[in-house]
Amino acid sequence: MLGLMQQHELNISRIIEFAAQCHGDGEIVSRRVEGDIHRTTYREVAARARKIANALDAMQVEQGQRVATLAWNGYRHMELYFGISSSGRVLHTLNPRLHPEQLAWIINHAEDTVLCFDTSFLPLIQAVHSRCPTVKHWIAMCDGAALPKESGIPGLIAYEDWIAGQPDTYDWPVVDENSAASLCYTSGTTGNPKGVLYSHRSTMLHSYAVVMPDAMCLSARDSVLPVVPMFHVNAWGLPYAAAMTGCKLVFPGPAMDGKSVYELIENEKVTLAAGVPTVWQMMLAHVQANGLRFSTMNRTVIGGSACPPAMIQAFQNDYKVEVLHAWGMTELSPLGSVCTLKNKHLAESPEAQLKRRQSQGRPIFGIELRIKGHEGQVLPWDGQQSGELQARGHWVVGEYFKGEGGEILDEGWFPTGDVAMIDGDGFMLITDRSKDVIKSGGEWISSIEVENIAMAHPAVAMAACIGMRHPKWDERPVVVVALKPNATLTRDELLAFYQGKTAKWQIPDDVLFVPAIPLGATGKMLKTKLRDQFKDYQLPSLSA
């Protein structure tokens, strides 16, 4: 027997129309490329999203065609998010940190028809435009007066001129909720990047999950700062989740340095900020150096790579800001788990709580996780055994865009490439990427654990642990370290710091100092580059 309830397609247009109706005066504040602070509302963003839909109609962009953005976090990007997807086209967010070659490859693979870009990315567009034949329209996200002159981009138009004459009403189409809504490519550290094509349905269900109390706990009373970029995995779904709740949204634009982010947090009374550890490291350094406090921020979501325990402690103990350590990936659009404690954990010692908060937390409802051992057996959730993490759920990839990579699922589960253990309460601890695990004497060493200890040393800014070939042990860990400005630290001092903090055989064999750890396009440490850089390195025990 079927239920007798109404059936409505889960369409993204509903989110922005809801925000316009119920939170019409809800604020959206952006630091712009132009350098100033711009203020608008959900009502205005919805009206301009409808103008975009009309402008795309005028360009005869068809349903399902890809419309690309190359932009910082800001209100125009938000308008494009909703105008493109709600009208049945596919929003394709491009990552400006990619190499021009890779960017051109992705644009061609996606067959983008229109490309909207922030003027700060003009040099990048100039480098790729002649190699992107599918793009028929290039739009600079500025007003007519700021339109770059003699850009060399054929037919370049200003965003404000593009939408100016368009009506701000639009009859949003009802699209099948399984239709594509947005497209994001994986970072592509191995091989070509692959496209993950999110649907209206997956985006909507993901947004519901993001706002849940044990996830990001968003409400109309919040002021939310997504430092995590809208150009990668939809800023962790925050533009949609925020519009669903009507919370104030604060966009940092291109200014991601500690001072600018801190000022925005204080001036706009931000209660929740979300970003990767490297961003918070810059901000904490600024706050610590200047003796500052947070007057409104009470929680911060940290993910994208493992949050060092020293950062959790600094936020929680020194600044009374709760850290919500989250795990996700492009293939999960991206949120998979968030670390929030249960009642019974609040009675635990501060040390036990800190240990728990280092984990990537519990899966959010809608995502199922399992771990698989070497022999392909499904492992129990005992907090001891680790194996490859697999996920399935409403917002997990089924296959890549254009079938790249072929069949990717294992009995319906997506193999994440992460190595993790899960305890009986569902708390998941990522110990490594499977390709980064160090195998020493038949045992596995977690590179994240080795890095976390180094990063707890006050002189260390960033640490990356990589495995070096060893004839007897297979591999031995070495830690590559970048020091904080003006800090001094010797190899022996750091190795001594490890004593008593981990098993003896897990202590790295050597410390290699570098001016900076190379980061990839999504802010993660590029261990491939480090391995390359140190390919001729000899472990001290071997060169002796």
- The one-character DSSP state at 295 is S
Residue 361 CB, nearest approach to ligand AMP (Å): 9
* Residue numbers 336-395 binding ligand AMP by CB under 6 A: 360
User: What mask, x for binding ligand AMP by CB under 6 A, covers residues 220 to 259?
Assistant: -------------x--------------------------
Of residues 93, 186, 330, 522, which has the active-site annotation? Answer: 186
Nearer to ligand AMP, 26 or 195 (CB): 195
Query: How far is 324 from 299, CA to CA, in rounded Å?
Result: 7
Nearer to ligand AMP, 114 or 184 (CB): 184
User: What mask, x for binding ligand AMP by CB under 6 A, covers residues 522 to 541?
Assistant: x-------------------
Nearer to ligand AMP, 113 or 416 (CB): 416
User: What mask, x for binding ligand AMP by CB under 6 A, covers residues 448 to 477?
Assistant: ------------------------------
Q: Does 96 bind ligand AMP (CB under 6 A)?
A: no
Nearer to ligand AMP, 179 or 305 (CB): 305
Does the N-terminal peptide bond of residue 334 adopt cis geometry, omega within 30 degrees of 0? yes
Nearer to ligand AMP, 10 or 228 (CB): 228
Find tokens 């594509």 and name the residue. Answer: 180
Reply yes or no on whether 444 is catalytic: yes
Nearer to ligand AMP, 125 or 326 (CB): 326
Residue 232 CB, nearest approach to ligand AMP (Å): 7
Give the SS3 label for residue 414. Answer: strand
**Buried b vs exposed e over 336-369: b needs ≥16 C-beta within 10 Å?**
bbbbbbeeeeeeeeeeebbebbbbbbbbbebbeb
Reply yes or no on whether 439 is catalytic: yes
Q: Which of 193, 229, 246, 303 binds ligand AMP (CB under 6 A)?
A: 303
User: What mask, x for binding ligand AMP by CB under 6 A, covers residues 184 to 223?
Assistant: --xx------------------------------------
Reply yes or no on whether 186 is catalytic: yes
Of residues 269, 342, 435, 439, which has the active-site annotation? Answer: 439
Query: Residue 272: CB partners within 8 Å, gap ≥ 6?
Result: 216, 217, 218, 222, 223, 224, 225, 297, 298, 299, 300, 301
Range 314-322 contact pairs with CB under 8 angstroms and sequence separation of 24 or more: 314/284, 314/288, 315/280, 315/284, 316/357, 318/288, 319/287, 319/293, 319/294, 320/294, 321/294, 321/297, 322/298
Of the listed pieces 12-20, 123-131, 328-336, 486-494, which binds ligand AMP according to CB under 6 A? 328-336
> What are the strands, taking DSSP E only, across 165-284?
180-185, 195-199, 223-226, 248-251, 272-275
Residue 332 CB, nearest approach to ligand AMP (Å): 8
Rounded to a whole number, what is the distance in angstroms from the first to the last CA of the chain? 77
Nearer to ligand AMP, 54 or 73 (CB): 73
Task: Give the pairing type, strands 414-422 and 428-433.
Answer: antiparallel
Of residues 160, 268, 331, 388, which has the active-site annotation? Answer: 331
- The one-character DSSP state at 525 is B
Of residues 9, 44, 444, 524, which has the active-site annotation? Answer: 444
Structure tokens at 542: 């071997």
By C-alpha distance, which of 102, 146, 101 is closest to 122? 146
Q: Does 330 bind ligand AMP (CB under 6 A)?
A: yes
Q: Does 19 bind ligand AMP (CB under 6 A)?
A: no
Query: How far is 169 from 105, CA to CA, in rounded Å?
Result: 36
By C-alpha distance, which of 244, 209, 446, 418 is closest to 329? 418
Q: Is the dihedral of CA 37, 255, 237, 192 positive or negative?
A: positive
* Helix (H), strand (E), coil (C) string for 50-90: HHHHHHHHHCCCCCCCEEEEECCCCHHHHHHHHHHHHCCCE
Q: Does 334 bind ligand AMP (CB under 6 A)?
A: yes
User: What mask, x for binding ligand AMP by CB under 6 A, covers residues 389 to 428?
Assistant: ---------------------------xxx----------
Q: Does 95 bind ligand AMP (CB under 6 A)?
A: no
Query: Residue 115: CB partners within 8 Å, gap ≥ 6?
Result: 67, 68, 69, 70, 94, 107, 125, 132, 135, 137, 138, 139
Nearer to ligand AMP, 306 or 396 (CB): 306
Reply yes or no on whether 331 is catalytic: yes
Q: Does 433 bind ligand AMP (CB under 6 A)?
A: yes
User: What mask, x for binding ligand AMP by CB under 6 A, covers residues 149 to 188?
Assistant: -------------------------------------xx-
User: Would you please indicate which residues are annotated as catalytic (active-site) residues?
Assistant: 186, 331, 439, 444
**Contact residues: ligand AMP, CB under 6 A:** 186-187, 233, 303-306, 325-330, 334, 360, 416-418, 430, 433, 522
